[in-house]
Structure 1
Amino acid sequence: MSEPSPYHPPVKRSVQIAGHKTSISLEPLFWTMLRDAAEAEGVPINAIVARIDAERIKSPTPPGLASAIRVWLVSQ
């Protein structure tokens, strides 16, 4: 099966952070990158998202979670 177009609209998925479910909308390309990062570290996607969330809330002006995930992914 081929990958969706990189210009596909965002897809909303639920993740769990610190025992709480939240929805995140990311383009399929970013979901793929997030899955690949989790697989490379041998941890669930939720663990990566929780780490990104913890880092972003330390910022003086925290971005939204989806934005923080995108920035984290392209910074890797």
Structure 2
Amino acid sequence: MAEVYAGPVKRSMMIAGHATSISLEPIFWDALRQAAEAEGLPLNALVALIDAERIQADAPPNLASAIRVWLFARERDG
């Protein structure tokens, strides 16, 4: 259970042609990897899709927040 409360881990990836760093807790990295597998997408492609949706919002959140919300909504609507 302690793993659930682990602090953020920063990872770098290329999305939409540019390098970016994302800090997420390990539980969210795991969920994101599982979602990418379920969608049949590479991890960076899924993040790029989430990023594209995020920037269309009236007040876009940061990318890490958008990923967390996307994962929550996916699970809730699942």
Q: Normalising TM by the smaller chain, what interval?
A: over 0.9
Over the matched positions of the two proteins, sequence identity in percent amounts to: 66
| SS class of match (1:21) | strand
- Corresponding residue for residue 62 of structure 1: 60
Q: Distance in 1 between matches of 2:31 and 2:39?
A: 12
| SS class of match (1:34) | helix
| SS class of match (1:58) | coil
What root-mean-square deviation, in Å, do the aligned CA atoms of Structure 1 and Structure 2 show?
Answer: 1.3
Q: TM (normalized to structure 2)? A: 0.90
Cα separation, partners in 2 of 1:4 and 1:50, compared to 1, 3 Å: farther
- Corresponding residue for residue 33 of structure 2: 35
Unaligned residue ranges in structure 2 (runs of 5+): none
- Equivalenced residue count is 74
Q: Name the structure where helix makes up a greater proportion of residues.
A: 2
Unaligned residue ranges in structure 1 (runs of 5+): none
- Corresponding residue for residue 46 of structure 2: 48
Q: 2:55 is aligned with what amino acid?
A: I
Q: Distance in 1 between matches of 2:48 and 2:10?
A: 17
Q: TM (normalized to structure 1)? A: 0.93
Structure 2 residue corresponding to 1:12, chosen from 3, 10, 13? 10
